[in-house]
A and B are shown apart, each in its own frame.
Chain A
Amino acid sequence: MAARMQSRKSGFLERTTASFVDALEHTFYAEETARAHGLLQRLDPRVKLLGILALIVPAAAARSFAVIGCLFAVTVVLAGLSRVSFSILLKRVWIAVLLFTGVIALPAPFVTPGRALYQLPWLGWTITSQGLASAGYLVLRVETAATLCVLLVLTTPWNDVLKALRVLRVPVIVVTILGMTYRYVYLLLQTAHDMFESRRSRMVGNLTGRERRRVAASSAGVLLSKTFDLSSEVYLAMQSRGFRGEVHILDEFRMRRFDWIMLAGFTLVSAAAFWWGR
């Protein structure tokens, strides 16, 4: 959809909206993956959340390439057993993280003091082994942590991820607000998208920059006004069913033997990674 929208000449806000819609379409893919019959999909979301955090922390703290590499390998195995497509991981995580973190890590080999490995011709900048190691650590750590986070999202319905946050003592009201935000962001994005489509359908020729900014500002105003109306209506609907300022939710998760075994597994791997990566 985003590609179709961008194929026509469009303004900043249309492109932004299209990107949001595109991003939300990815979440549909995530929901499909979350329903697949894989290893992580079978796990209680609380165990998955804690287990993945237990792998992220040593990956971020380890001072050994071998340990971080092993954790990355564990992550890849988990992805394979959970039927998560490697091509998706490659495109959405590994390459994106490499580019993003690569830019951040780029100066490190030149500015970190240490043993000189190579000097760039013409520029005369020196690459140090310590600097190269720092950049390598950063990239590998971020690759591992990002892959683990994406695995959590791709193998768990988002609502279950939110509910699982309760195990980390996140207050019920925060979980509820996040759930409602996730629910209504679709509706508002759809509304914004429809507004822009409706405007385009009545447009002949191109608008000047000033006109485009004016239209964008007025659209934002209308959307804000609709958001206010919607939020008051939602509040009334909540009141109508007994909401009195305090939210109660139903705990649907049940720990099974498999969950306990996996929790023990995550704990063991995490402890070992901490020990070897000191």
Chain B
Amino acid sequence: MSRTNSNGTGQLPVYEVCDVTYRYREVTALKHLNLTVNPGRRVVLLGANGSGKSTLLRILNGLCFPDEGNVYFCGRPLTAENIESDGFGLEFRRRVGLVFQNPEVQLFSPTVFDEVAFGPLQLRWPDGEIRRKISETLEMMEITHLKDRSPHHLSMGEKKRVALASVLVLDPEILLLDEPTAALDPKSESHMIDFLVQSKGSGKTIVTTTHDLDIVEDIADDCFVFHEGRIVAAAAPTEILSDVALLKQTNLLHAHLHVHKSGALHTHPHLHKHES
């Protein structure tokens, strides 16, 4: 059954997550979660490790399904049956792309070229179109020189860029990014952030999970804070980042002993990048 309610702009939300609970055996990863993602918005899911962000991203990508509650994609229920159906399933895969946190799982093809070609081939694009799009995407991501290389020869930064290229080649309207800057060297991180900043105004809906507070303001229009499988705050990034008590409560900010240049030794809250 489809939903017909709109968000006041006349457009259906891209995602509506209604009272979703998800369990990994005994562990409840998401608890009665409610969330709406509107078209063209850049959304950040902010939370410490194990707060349930990545699980939600997988649900939004139709890779797993809630134990309780419902998820709607553009008004249609996101269920295993719908994903398996040829019409909706292929359309959904064309419109939604997920970049995994660990690029090793996403780079399963023998060469970079084959990797980028994988998605379009599964969606049965014509060969000529596939070659054209691959060439454009490799150029856009500045990885044309890696075309014939095997993924095991690449650096982590290069792997992340190839993983992103393998999704961008499909030109998805909705991009789901799981910790895109995790474990990257400064240059690769800067490339990734530039990409996310430039995506503003592209019309794409981008949902990014992160615990890197430094980048949130640059890459988000809306921000949801996760803690132990629940959303504990939803607001604009500036508002979230100014709420020190909230950040401390959700383990995104902490105080620790340190030395200043003056030699003074004391503690106060700090922003930190928490590597996974």
* Partner-B contacts on A (CB < 8 A): 31, 157-159, 162, 179-180, 182-184, 186-187, 230, 233-234, 236-244, 248-252
Is B106 positioned at the interface, with any CB of A under 8 Å from its CB?
yes
A31 nearest in chain B by CB position:
B150
Do A187 and B98 form a contact, CB below 8 Å, given A240-B93, A248-B122?
Answer: no
Which of B44-52, B113-121, B262-270 is near enough to bind chain A? B113-121
Q: A238 to chain B: which residues have CB within 8 Å?
A: 108, 118
Q: Is the CB of B93 within 8 A of A241?
A: yes
Q: B105 to chain A: which residues have CB within 8 Å?
A: 230, 233-234, 236-237
Is B232 positioned at the interface, with any CB of A under 8 Å from its CB?
no
Q: B61 to chain A: which residues have CB within 8 Å?
A: 240
| A236 vs chain B, min Cβ distance (A) | 5
| B194 vs chain A, min Cβ distance (A) | 24
Q: Is the CB of B93 within 8 A of A242?
A: yes
B90, B104, B148, B167: residue with the most chain A Cβ atoms closer than 10 Å: B104
Q: B107 to chain A: which residues have CB within 8 Å?
A: 183
State the main secondary structure of chain B at its contact with A: helix
Do A241 and B104 form a contact, CB below 8 Å, given A159-B150, A182-B110, A186-B152?
Answer: no
Interface readout for B65-103 with A: 1 if CB under 8 Å, 0 if not?
Answer: 000000000000000000010000110011001101010
Q: B205 to chain A: which residues have CB within 8 Å?
A: none
Choice from A31, A159, A234 contacting B108 with Cβ under 8 Å: A234
10 A-B pairs, CB-CB below 8 angstroms? A158-B110, A183-B150, A240-B63, A243-B122, A244-B84, A248-B121, A249-B114, A250-B114, A250-B117, A251-B127
Question: What is the CA–CA distance of A180 and B115 in the complex, to the nearest angstrom?
Answer: 11
Q: A236 to chain B: which residues have CB within 8 Å?
A: 58, 63, 105
B130 nearest in chain A by CB position:
A250
Q: Is the CB of B63 within 8 A of A248?
A: no
| A-B contacts besides A241-B118, A242-B93, 4 pairs, CB < 8 Å | A179-B110, A240-B98, A242-B119, A250-B127
Q: Is the CB of B152 within 8 A of A183?
A: yes
Question: What is the CA–CA distance of A183 and B94 in the complex, to the nearest angstrom?
Answer: 26
State the main secondary structure of chain A at its contact with B: helix
Choice from A31, A183, A242 contacting B109 with Cβ under 8 Å: A183
Question: What is the CA–CA distance of A250 and B89 in the complex, to the nearest angstrom?
Answer: 22
| A104 vs chain B, min Cβ distance (A) | 35
B149 nearest in chain A by CB position:
A31
Interface readout for B30-69 with A: 1 if CB under 8 Å, 0 if not?
Answer: 0000000000000000000000000000100101000000
| A127 vs chain B, min Cβ distance (A) | 50
- Report the interface size for chain B: residues with CB under 8 A from the other chain: 39
Q: B108 to chain A: which residues have CB within 8 Å?
A: 180, 183-184, 234, 237-238
Question: What is the CA–CA distance of A248 and B107 in the complex, to the nearest angstrom?
Answer: 16
Is B144 positioned at the interface, with any CB of A under 8 Å from its CB?
no
A250 nearest in chain B by CB position:
B117
| A163 vs chain B, min Cβ distance (A) | 9
Is B29 positioned at the interface, with any CB of A under 8 Å from its CB?
no
Q: A242 to chain B: which residues have CB within 8 Å?
A: 90, 93-94, 119, 122-123
| A11 vs chain B, min Cβ distance (A) | 26
Do A241 and B119 form a contact, CB below 8 Å, given A159-B150, A187-B152, A236-B58?
Answer: yes
Do A159 and B104 form a contact, CB below 8 Å, given A241-B166, A241-B170, A242-B119?
Answer: no
| B136 vs chain A, min Cβ distance (A) | 16
Is B132 positioned at the interface, with any CB of A under 8 Å from its CB?
no
| A166 vs chain B, min Cβ distance (A) | 14
Q: Is the CB of A159 within 8 A of B110?
A: yes
Q: Is the CB of A187 within 8 A of B104?
A: yes
Do A239 and B63 form a contact, CB below 8 Å, given A162-B110, A180-B108, A250-B127?
Answer: yes
Q: Is the CB of B151 within 8 A of A183?
A: yes
Question: What is the CA–CA distance of A17 and B1 in the complex, to the nearest angstrom?
Answer: 55
Question: What is the CA–CA distance of A233 and B89 in the complex, to the nearest angstrom?
Answer: 19
A246 nearest in chain B by CB position:
B122
Question: What is the CA–CA distance of A211 and B154 in the complex, to the nearest angstrom?
Answer: 37
A239 nearest in chain B by CB position:
B63
Is B111 positioned at the interface, with any CB of A under 8 Å from its CB?
yes
Interface readout for B128-155 with A: 1 if CB under 8 Å, 0 if not?
Answer: 0011000000000000000010111000
B118 nearest in chain A by CB position:
A241
Is B187 positioned at the interface, with any CB of A under 8 Å from its CB?
no
Q: Is the CB of B63 within 8 A of A249?
A: no
| B105 vs chain A, min Cβ distance (A) | 4
| A22 vs chain B, min Cβ distance (A) | 16
Question: What is the CA–CA distance of A148 and B58 in the complex, to the nearest angstrom?
Answer: 48
Q: A233 to chain B: which residues have CB within 8 Å?
A: 100, 102, 105
